[in-house]
Amino acid sequence: MAIGTARVATTPYRPGLRDRLGEWLDRETILGPAFVTPALLLLVFLVAYPFVMAIYLSLSNAFIGRPSHLIGLRNFINLWQSDAFRQTFQNAFVFTGFAVAIKVVLGIWLALLLNEQLWFKRLIRGAVLLPWVIPTALSTLGWWWMFNSLYSVVNWTGIHMGLLDPPGPNWLGQKYYAMAAVVAVNVWRGLPFFAITILAGLVAIPKELYEAAHTDGAGPVARFWYVTLPLLSPVLAIVVLFSTIFTFSDFNIVFVLTHGGPINSTHLFATLARQVGLETGRLGEGAAISLYLFPVLVMVVYAQLRFVRNRAY
Amino acid sequence: MDAINRRRFLTTTAGLAGILAAGVPPARGQQREISYLCWNNFAPASDKKLAEIGPRFTKDTGIKIRIDHIAAPQQAAKYASEVQTQAGHDIVEMRMHFPWLYEPQLLDLSDLVAEMEKKYGKVVSSATEAAKVKGVWRAVPQYHAYFAPAYREDIFKKAGLKIPDTWDDLYTVGKELKKMGNPVGIPISQNYDSISTAGPVLWSFGGMEVDKDGKTVKINSSAAAQMVEWYRKMYKDCMEPEVLSWTDSSNNESLQQGKAGWIHNPVSAYIVARNMKLPTADTINHHRSLAGPAGRHETDVPRSIGIWKFSKNVEASKEWIRYLIGKKEVYDEYIMSGDAFNLPVYTNLQDHPVLKTDPKFANLKGEGVQYHIYGWPAPPSDKIQLITNSFILPNMIAKAVTGSSTKEAIAWADNEMKKIVAG
C-alpha cells in the first residue's frame, strides 16, 4: 500500500461583502474619515460655502440678477460715510452691551434662585424656558402690542398704578425708550438661556467647597464671590460668548418692534443689511454690512476661548 | 413589466442623451403648466376670487396654473432667491418699483401692454412710472391702491368743520380736531405710509427729493422747507407724539378705534371697519385729495404682473395675463372682489362700477389728481429706491419735529441723499 500525501482540494477563503466591509471599517484610517465626512459636508455646504459667498459678495458690486465684479473694500469704505450705518454701528454696541450685561446679572440671580429648594421646582424650571421656546417673531408681536402707542398695556398699568403720568412714554417713538424696549425684549428672550446654563454650572460645583467655606466663617456674599463666581467663570465665559454673537446678529426683535426706527436709532446690522441688500437689491453692500463686525467678533471669540482654555487647564 | 431588450435600451438612452444635450424636452413631454406667485392681498376676497379664476382658466385654455401667495414683507427675499437661482415661478406679481429692481430678469411685455391699452385706454401715470423701465414694459399693470383722506364725518359735522381742500386747510381743522381729542393721524416713522403722505405734501408744495435725471438731489429747496414747516406745526398743534412710532397699520387702527379724526390712507381703513362691523364704520367717510401751491398730487401702490426670463412657459404665462387682465369680464370680476381697494390702472376704467357699490366710495374719484410712485420725478432706479427704503424723507421730518431746525433737518437729508446718489 503506497503511502503518500493526500491532496485535499481547498478553495481559498473569500469573505462575504458584509465581512469585507466590516473588516474595512475596522481600520481606523477608514472609519475615522467615514464618521467625519457627513459633518464635514454639512459644514462645507451650510457654513463654509455661504460664508465664502458672503465675503465674495461684500467685495463686489453685486446687485440682484445683474452681472457683478470685484471692487475691493469700496463697500466697507462707502458704508462708513452713511449716517444710517454709523448710527447702526453704535446701536449694535449699545444694544449688545446693555442686553448681555443685564442678562448676565439677571441670569446668575435667576440661576441661584432656581438652585434653591423650591416648591414645584421642575415646573418653575420648565416655565422659565418658555420665552426661549416660543418663536421670537410671535412673542415680539406680543411685546409690540404691549408697547403700542394706542393699546400699550405697559403704559395703562403704569398710569393706573400711579407710576406714570398720562399718556406715558412713547416707547417705540423716542430713541432712548425704543432702545430700552428692544433691549428689554432681548433680555426677556435670552434670559432662560443664561439661567439654565448657569444653573448647570452651579449644580456642578461640589457642595464640600461651600461647607468648607462656611466652616471657615465665610458669609453668603463671600461664598458667592470666592467660591461660586470663580467656579462659574468658564461657563459664564461660554454663555457670554454665545450671547454676544447672537445679540449682535439679532434681527427679529428689531424688525418686528421698531423696523429700525425712530430715525434709525434701533437699527442693527441684520436689519440694515436686509433693508439695503434685499429690499433695495444691493447684495454687495448688504453683505458688507453683515460682515462689518466679523473681524471684531473673531477677536472676541479668540480671546474668550483662550480664557476658557486657560481656566480649564 | 416588459423585459428591456437591447434595441429598446439603445433607443431610450439615445433619446435621453438627445434631450439632455438639447436641453429641450420633447413636445409630447412639454407640460402646459405655469406657476404664479403673488402677495397675500390686503383684500382677502381678491385672493379667493383668484383661486376661482385659476381653474376656469385651466378649463378654458387647457393650461394648468398653480397660484402661490406670499406675505408682502417676504416678497423681496423670495424674488431675490428666485432670481439668484434662476428657478421658481414663471409669473410674479410686482409691487410698485419691482420692475425696475428686477429689470434684467424680466421679459419685455410691451406687446401685452399694447393690447391692454388698446382695449382699456392708457395706463395711469404712476403705473407707467413703475412698470415701464427705460421705455420697455417689464410688467403688465394690473391694479393700484391709492391714498385718499379718510375722516370722521360725525365729528366734522358736530363741530361744524369744513372739509379741507388743501394741506393748509387741514392744519386749520386739525387744530380743532386735536382739541376735541380726535387728532390728525399722519405717521412720521420708518414705514411706507409715512412716505406716502410726505411725498404728496412735498410735491404739492412744489418740491422733490431728486430731479428727473435721477442724479441731482433737490431736497434742499424752499418748497421742502415749507413742507417741513407744515409738518412741524401739524405735529405740534394737530397730532400726538405717538405718530413717531406708528407702523403702516397704526393710522387705520387709530381711526377705527375712534381716536383719530383724519388720516391719509388707502380705503382699507374704512373697509376693515365696515367688514368687522366696528361702531366707527358708519362715521368714516372719504374726501377729495388735498392740494398745495403746486397742485394736487397723490401716491399709490401700483401692482403689475411680470414674467421671469428663465420661465420655460412664456407663451402660456402670457395667456394667463391676457385672461386675467385682458378679458374684460374676468378683470371686472377681480376688481369687484377687491372692494375698491384694488382699482383699475387704465384710464377708460377709472369710473369703475366698484366705486358705486358703497356710497362711502363716491369721493374716491381721482379727477385732477396726479398719481406718482415714491421718489417722483426721478426714475425709480436702485439709488432712488435706497433713498426710499432708508426712510430719509420721514426721518428728515422726524428730526425737525423732535428738535432739529428745519435747515439742519434738510441739510442732513440732502447729505444722505447725495451720498447715495454718488455711491
Q: How many domains does chain A have?
A: 2
B363 within domain boundaries: no
B127 and B161 together in one domain: no
Contact A279 B389 (CB under 8 A): yes
pLDDT tens sequence across A28-70: 888 889 899 999 999 999 999 999 999 999 999 999 888 899 9
- CATH number of the domain bearing residue B410: 3.40.190.10
Q: Which residues of B touch A263 (CB under 8 A)?
A: 190, 395, 398-399, 402
Q: Which residues of B touch A167 (CB under 8 A)?
A: 240, 242
A48 within domain boundaries: yes
B107 within domain boundaries: yes
B308 and B206 together in one domain: no
| Cell numbers standing for residue B324 | 386675467
Minimum distance, in Å, between the CA of residue B6 and any CA atom of chain A: 30
Contact A173 B76 (CB under 8 A): no
Contact B386 A150 (CB under 8 A): no
pLDDT tens sequence across A235-279: 999 899 989 999 999 999 999 999 999 999 999 999 999 999 988
Residue B28: band (very low, low, confident or very high) from pLDDT cuts 50, 70, 90? very low
B127 within domain boundaries: yes
Q: What is the pLDDT of residue B1?
A: 46
Contact B253, B246 (CB under 8 A): no
What is the span of the domain harbouring residue A32? Answer: 25-58
Contact B245 A276 (CB under 8 A): no
Q: Which of B389, B399, B402 sits opposite A280 (nearest CB)?
A: B389
Residue A191 corresponds to which amino acid?
L
Minimum distance, in Å, between the CA of residue B354 and any CA atom of chain A: 33
pLDDT tens sequence across B219-237: 999 999 999 999 999 999 9
Minimum distance, in Å, between the CA of residue A89 and any CA atom of chain B: 16
List the single residue in B with minimal CA-CA distance to A279: B76
List the single residue in B with minimal CA-CA distance to A78: B423
Q: How many CB pairs under 8 A join A and B?
A: 108
Angstrom distance (rounded) from CA A267 to CA A254: 7
pLDDT tens sequence across A279-308: 888 999 999 999 998 888 888 888 878 887
Q: How many domains does chain B have?
A: 2
A54 and A144 together in one domain: no
Q: Which residues of B touch A61 (CB under 8 A)?
A: none
Distance of CA B28 to the CA centre of its chain: 41
Give the predicted TM-score (pTM) of the model.
0.85
Of A102-106, B31-35, B108-112, the poorest mean pLDDT is in B31-35
Q: What is the pLDDT of residue A64?
A: 87
Angstrom distance (rounded) from CA B273 to CA B407: 41
Contact B279, B152 (CB under 8 A): no
A280 and A143 together in one domain: yes
Residue B377 burial (CB count, 10 A): 15
Q: Which residues of A touch B389 (CB under 8 A)?
A: 275-276, 279-280
| Cell numbers standing for residue A97 | 452691551
Q: What is the pLDDT of residue B29?
A: 46
Residue B238: band (very low, low, confident or very high) from pLDDT cuts 50, 70, 90? very high
Q: Which residues of B touch A83 (CB under 8 A)?
A: 412, 415-416
A248 and A303 together in one domain: yes
Residue A188 near chain B (CB below 8 Å): no
Residue A68 near chain B (CB below 8 Å): no
* Helical (H) or strand (E) element with A109: helix A83-114
Contacts of B242 (CB under 8 A, 6+ apart): A149, A150, A167, A170, A173, B250
Residues across chain B: 423
What is the span of the domain harbouring residue B410? Answer: 148-288+390-422
Q: Which residues of A touch B246 (CB under 8 A)?
A: 149, 173
